[in-house]
Amino acid sequence: MLLLLACLSPDQPVAVAPEPRVALRPAPVVLVTLDTTRADRLGCYGHEAARTPNLDALAARGARFSSAFATVPLTIPSHSSLHTGLLPPRHGVRDNGDHRLSEEATTLAERFADAGYATHAVVAAFVTQSSWGFGQGFQRYDEDLGVASDRLSWRVERPADEVIDQALLALGRADFLWVHLFDAHAPYAPPAKFENMDPYDGELAFVDQQLGRLLDHLPEDALIVVVGDHGEAFGEGGEASHGLLLEDGSIRVPLILAGPGIEPQVIDRPVSLVDVAPTLLRLRGLAPMASDGLDLLVPSQRIGVYSETRYGMHHFGWTPLERLSTPTGALVRGARVESTGEPGEGALGELDRLASLPPAFAAERATLDLGTLEQLQALGYVSEAESLHSGVDPRDGVGITERLEALRRRPLPEQVEGFRVLLEEQPGLRDTRMRLGLSLLQLGRMDEGLAELTTAYRGSPGSTTAVAIGEVWLQRGDAREALQWFEEALTHDPLSATAVSGQAQAYALAGDLDQARVLLDEALLDRPDHADLILASAVLALALGEGEQRWLEPLEEVARRRPYQGRVFHVLGSLQVRAGDLEAGETSLKTELRHQPGNTAARLDLVSLYREQGRLVDVVKTLRPLVALYPEDERWKAMTRSAYEQMGRPDLADEI
């Protein structure tokens, strides 16, 4: 054993060997998705600087598709197409963060599970967690990123070595295994072994090294698919990253299929991510599912494959972009139609047909809480409802996105001024108005932030914005306004537990405890562990003056997992004070104000605690930010003067 360990490379992680497979189990099917991976940056696709020997070897023994295209250059909608075999107009997930994959969808994992396959997923990032609907059909879903699920999950990834460790452990009991690797997504920070390479190439080299560990442990009869969900523009069309445009770099992805009976070959005709599901089902002898895809290994007369992006429409009010990639060229339509090469006869008609396909089922809106929305804002994503577009083509507006990206790296006060300048130039930039409102809230400028969010909502109503506004009104202690906005959110997303939680908190704040109890009792039946509902239950317990101890431990767990969730430390601090733990209560209330400086109700609760302890200096320190933020509001001035007078400092009281 010592000799064996000595032979291992120090860069090679030591993982637990997979469990031996039980006899008579079906041969495994392994689906690997590579996030943000351009086809032309792998060795098997001609990139000379690449260090991807494992993927190159897999391609050499299987089918490599030279013209595979993502349906959308964004992770959530693209994976929705991969798992269902449906195009975006059919499954309804058109952007990151706006919808989740409907429970009415039939997924590849569900079909394999129905056929007796043990199904297991190991994913690397928040955008592939089960909350987006991807858990359907998986009996095990390994998605623990090891961080707080609200504040960090939009940024933090699990590196490929950790994902592959878990995938190896799953191999012995999984017949259908999905592995998602996120390393090639920005920011690029490859391990030291690859730091002498281009950073993006270094990330892909690390992914390849780790993927080799998984491939080495697969049995000979395994069916393997490796596919990118989308690419990265790297300046094509003027776009730095991905999402806005439909250039080749953003949507042309690697696709490799290997396994028994698949001859080594390169297939040049255009194919789509929607083709993966029907191909795997046919190769494993399972009945086909309703799909927009075709068998990857069967030649077809398809005119071309469809891609789209509504990022510009959702975020800026611009036109959607739609593309048809054909064997001889491509057609891209926004405010105008442009072509590369010779798309061929019938291309425009086929683009019309695919873009207007009817929904297969009703889309399920994803309502985000204020903390998650702020994370989207920090990453440059703020998506909400469908918007009427202004007629501006995203290809003409790409410079705006670069200015926004530059602003994102500036301090908040500078971001606010930059957003205002952009809105003076183009008042219809809804995404920019949302970012302005959220930035103002983070600065504690609640009135201004509310005004901007409300304007954004009026221009493009949606549940996430309504919930964000409602949560701010809760922080302000205004139950009537909060209730109005949570009810507004429920008109857009009747199933939103976040909106129901806010509604119940507003009722409790207003003194209608019976109505709050009815709402929570019903909601908790379906989702007893939902963080927002636990928070609302603790609020109700405080209002009732009974049962507070029951919710103390669950809320502590919510605070641990979601420390930036609005009001979580406020309510936890109130529970701790009620339980007699004044020190812990003070710490929690101060944490809330550090995360949410505009939470007036939490600030006043902390003031009350200090008053009861006779800590008048701390009373003044806690009130002074309110006086500075709201110089016209006499309430905060009066409370501050009173504290100074009790301290025997009428001279300071007169200065307020």
Q: Does the pLDDT value for residue 458 go beyond 50?
A: yes
Taking residues 101-113, report their average pLDDT: 97
Nearest CA-CA partner of 27 in 327, 342, 284, 370: 284
Question: How much of the chain exceeds pLDDT 90, in percent?
Answer: 72
Tens digits of residue pLDDT in 477-528: 899 999 999 999 999 888 889 999 999 999 999 999 999 999 999 999 988 8
Tens digits of residue pLDDT in 122-135: 999 989 989 899 99
3-state secondary structure of 385: coil
pTM listed for this prediction: 0.80
pLDDT confidence of residue 5 = 31
The CA distance from 577 to 572, in Å, is 9
Is residue 246 within 8 Å of residue 309, measured between CB atoms? Answer: yes
3-state secondary structure of 527: coil
Tens digits of residue pLDDT in 7-29: 333 344 444 445 555 446 789 99
Residue 10 neighbours by CB distance under 10 Å: 6
Alpha-helix residue ranges (DSSP H) falling in 269-369: 276-283, 311-316, 347-355
Q: Does the pLDDT value for residue 106 go beyond 80?
A: yes
The CA distance from 499 to 490, in Å, is 6
Q: How confident is the model at residue 373 (pLDDT cuts 50, 70, 90)?
A: low
Burial class (CB in 10 A: 0-12, 13-18, 19+), 581: middle
Long-range CB contact pairs, 298-303, < 8 A, 24+: 299/269, 300/269, 302/269, 302/270, 303/344, 303/346, 303/347, 303/350
* Domains of the chain (ranges, CATH numbers): 30-300 (3.40.720.10), 367-461 (no CATH)
Q: Which residue has the tokens 């997504």?
A: 185
The CA distance from 308 to 281, in Å, is 26
Residues with Cβ within 8 Å of residue 455, at least 6 apart in sequence: 433
Residues with Cβ within 8 Å of residue 417, at least 6 apart in sequence: none
DSSP letters, 178-230, are EEEE-TTSSSP---GGGTTS-HHHHHHHHHHHHHHHHHHTS-TT-EEEEEES-
The CA distance from 390 to 388, in Å, is 7
